């Protein structure tokens, strides 16, 4: 280490006289004009500053904005649809009552969110049943961000439809125009408005990618004629409206098909034709009268165990169309204790019945008071009966 230090010191002592001599020669050369003044020293145009040193202000040149021009016709249509429909779309907060053991009182807390829309100017709000199922209460937030308590008017789980009611004072409520879904075509433009992930009034666009689909409701019964769309539908969109290019309601967004739970380009909406049949009944009476044969049927376990194709009649409601037509239920022989097989429905109006869902589909297309031709398997032979459809209890 001492040898290295001595070597560095000797080198420094040698360089000092050399540097002084070089500086002296440069001064002499400048005095005699041997070196041009502008080439003698390179001096930076601006002094070197640290990163935090203030810099001299310079006038900023604004960015040049290119003219946009008019919106395209398609864009104008989309903007107009959203502008007209957004005031009718609401944000729904599902509430639950929870007991606080520390404070020894009950608290109302948010438990979920969804979307909905105004059905009329009286404050009736339509949404999905699964949005409010099991709720102890609900709040509705309008487009002006005012929040109103809502009460449940009625629900129909078989179609995943529920109706709420708010009393919004001094606010003009705007209902959505109602369209129809029977004549929809694949490829039509559609527009979904809702509150996905709690994001207020979100618009997504797409096309009808399928019609006549079928999904299973929360009650386990099939919902027929469902609209399939590739418009992005995410959690929170449930209960929101699906609109056509005229801004009319054609469906209620209800479900997505996605392993991740987010939009994968396959969304489903309950058709407005089904909604329009249900909502007025819920508003008027709080319930929906459905057509039925007036029977109790096996949900599939017994039929599978017996290897029977069709809907097994377990019971007949007294006074119903089935009772008047003479349908026979399953009974137990009083003497032997054996269970005697009753009628098995194998067709309705010419449509084969292989399961209980097939029977639901056939009956849901009919109205109360209609007469259905019911073909049954009875004691090894086929019999046809004319059954008047009556309201289900």
Same domain, 250 and 212: yes
Buried b (16+ CB within 10 A) or exposed e, 10-39: eeeeeeeeeeeeeeeeeeeeeeeeeeeeee
Single residue among 267, 285, 303 that ends a domain in this structure = 285
Single residue among 132, 166, 200 that ends a domain in this structure = 166
CB proximity list for 192: less than 8 A, separation 6 or greater: 203, 204, 205, 206, 229, 231, 232, 233, 237, 240, 241, 242, 243, 253, 267, 269
Active-site option among 238, 244, 358, 364? 238
pTM of the model: 0.72
Same domain, 86 and 118: yes
Buried b (16+ CB within 10 A) or exposed e, 89-111: bbbbbbbeeeeeeeeeeeeeeeb
Residue 6 in domain? no
Mean pLDDT, consecutive 10-residue segments, the chain of 393 residues?
47 50 51 50 52 69 89 93 95 83 65 91 95 91 93 94 92 93 93 87 93 88 90 88 96 79 78 92 91 83 76 90 92 78 91 86 87 91 93 77
Q: What are phi and psi of 356, to 5 degrees?
A: -65, -35
- In the chain, the number of structural domains is 3
CB atoms within 10 A of CB 153: 19
Give CA–CA dist 274/255, Å, rounded.
16
Same domain, 268 and 296: no
The pLDDT, as a whole number, for residue 13 is: 47
Residue 176 in domain? no
Active site residue 201: no
Same domain, 307 and 325: yes
Active-site option among 88, 115, 124, 130? 130
Active site residue 244: no
Active-site option among 124, 158, 160, 181? 160
Domain holding 329: CATH number? 2.30.42.10
Single residue among 285, 317, 346 that ends a domain in this structure = 285
Residue 12 in domain? no
Residue 19 in domain? no
The pLDDT, as a whole number, for residue 12 is: 47
Domain span at residue 368? 291-391
Residue 178 in domain? no
Q: What are phi and psi of 154, to 5 degrees?
A: 180, 165
Same domain, 197 and 277: yes
Active site residue 124: no
Residue 29 in domain? no
């Amino acid at each position: 280490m001492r040898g290295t230090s001595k070597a560095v010191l000797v080198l420094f002592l040698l360089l000092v006289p050399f540097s002084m001599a070089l500086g002296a020669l440069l001064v002499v050369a400048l005095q005699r004009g041997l070196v041009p003044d502008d080439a003698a020293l390179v001096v930076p145009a601006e002094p070197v500053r640290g990163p935090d040193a203030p810099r001299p202000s310079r006038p900023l040149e604004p960015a040049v904005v290119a003219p946009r021009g008019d919106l395209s016709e398609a864009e104008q249509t989309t903007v107009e649809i959203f502008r007209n429909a957004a005031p009718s779309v609401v944000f729904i907060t599902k509430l639950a009552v929870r007991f606080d053991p520390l404070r020894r009182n009950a608290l109302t807390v948010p438990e979920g969110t969804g979307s909905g829309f105004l059905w009329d100017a009286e404050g009736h709000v339509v949404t999905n049943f699964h949005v409010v199922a099991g709720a102890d209460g609900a709040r509705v937030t309008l487009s002006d961000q005012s929040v109103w308590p809502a009460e449940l008017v009625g629900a129909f789980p078989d179609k995943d439809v529920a109706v709420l009611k708010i009393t919004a004072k001094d606010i003009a409520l705007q209902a959505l125009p109602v369209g129809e879904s029977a004549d929809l075509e694949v490829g039509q433009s559609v527009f979904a408005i809702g509150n996905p992930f709690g994001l207020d009034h979100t618009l997504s666009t797409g096309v009808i990618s399928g019609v006549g689909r079928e999904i299973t409701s929360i009650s386990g019964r099939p919902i027929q004629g469902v609209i399939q769309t590739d418009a992005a539908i995410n959690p929170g969109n449930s209960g929101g409206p699906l609109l056509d290019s005229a801004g009319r309601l054609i469906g209620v967004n209800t479900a997505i098909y996605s392993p991740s739970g987010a939009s994968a380009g396959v969304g489903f909406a309950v058709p407005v034709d089904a909604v329009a049949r249900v909502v007025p009944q819920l508003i008027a009476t709080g319930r929906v009268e459905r057509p039925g044969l007036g029977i109790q049927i096996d949900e599939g376990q017994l039929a599978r165990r017996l290897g029977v194709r069709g809907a097994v009649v377990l019971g007949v409601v007294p006074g119903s169309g089935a009772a008047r037509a003479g349908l026979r239920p399953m009974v137990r022989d009083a003497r032997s204790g054996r269970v005697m097989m009753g009628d098995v429905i194998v067709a309705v109006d010419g449509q084969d019945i292989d399961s209980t869902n097939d029977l639901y589909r056939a009956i849901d297309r009919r109205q109360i008071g209609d007469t259905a031709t019911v073909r049954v398997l009875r004691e090894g032979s086929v019999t046809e009966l004319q059954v008047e459809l009556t309201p289900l209890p």
